[in-house]
Structure 1
Amino acid sequence: MKLLLVAFTISVLISSLLILISTLFSKKTVLDREKVSPFECGFDPKNTSRIPFSIRFFLIAIVFLIFDIEISILLPLGLISNTIPPILWMSAGGLFLLLVTFGLFYEWKEKTLDWIS
């Protein structure tokens, strides 16, 4: 128990030291202002470089993320197919796919997937 406490204390100290060092060395200075400014062929930009973020693009990205996570949830079903009866894991996977499909149809019905509106 004592060894675990010592190891935990050492790891917290090392982590805190690394965070402190990275914070000290990563401070932005006035000289870095030119690095973060947009560059258009050597001229000053005509428009602002910070345009508002499209909420439609964000919603499409969230839907893509949901389907990406869906694949990572369904992949282990092939690994457990030898230990669980097939009807059980097939019905669980089918129910999950059905719920995600209903979610997709709901997004479609609410016109969230329409890029131009």
Structure 2
Amino acid sequence: MPAIAAEYLPILLFLIVAIALSGVFVGLPVLISNLSGANKPYADKLSEYESGFPAFSDARRQFDVRFYLVSILFIIFDLEVAFLFPWAVSLGQTGVFGWASMMTFLGILTIGFIYEWKKGALDWE
């Protein structure tokens, strides 16, 4: 076996083990589900549960956009928290400028949140 092929042998073994394990962890539950009868659909399993409108209706039908607005607001404020953790860890090195920058960022987000609240984006009817 050439020296270069011997260097790639651990990667090849890792790839084979990863494919085998993913096949077991994905394929085995599907196989067990099919054999045990747990995949038999009925009306409750097929009903809509997230958006509130039927999943198999006309795609051009109008629906309430507030569902998406709430999800966008969640993503915005989730990203805010993602920015707060590194800022808090490095606050000792960034000093007053880092603190002022984050307070400006939080102020802008707070103004946006108040605007959305006043516009009624968080009111669910």
Into which bin does the TM-score normalised by the smaller protein fall?
Answer: 0.5 to 0.7
2:103 aligns with: 94
Q: List runs of 5+ in structure 1 lacking aligned partners.
A: 38-47
Residues 27-71 of structure 1: per-residue CA shift (max 9 Å, x gap)? 24272245x65xxxxxxxxxx431352464554344234323312
**Partner of 1:77: helix, strand, or coil?**
helix
Distance 1:14 1:51 in 2: 38
RMSD value, Cα: 3.1
For this pair of structures, how many residues does the alignment match?
103
Q: How does 1:58-97 map to 2 (within 5 A)?
A: 59-86=69-96, 88-97=97-106
Q: How does 1:34-45 map to 2 (within 5 A)?
A: 37=42
C-alpha spacing 1:23/1:85, structure 2 compared with 1 (3 Å)? closer
Distance 1:81 1:24 in 2: 47
Runs of 4+ in 1 over 4 A off after TM superposition: none
1:18 aligns with: 21
The sequence identity of aligned pairs, in percent, is: 22
TM-score, normalised relative to structure 2? 0.58
Measured after TM superposition, the shift of residue 115 of structure 1 is 0.8
Read off the aligned partner of 1:29 and give its amino acid letter: N
Q: List runs of 5+ in structure 2 lacking aligned partners.
A: 53-64
Measured after TM superposition, the shift of residue 4 of structure 1 is 6.6
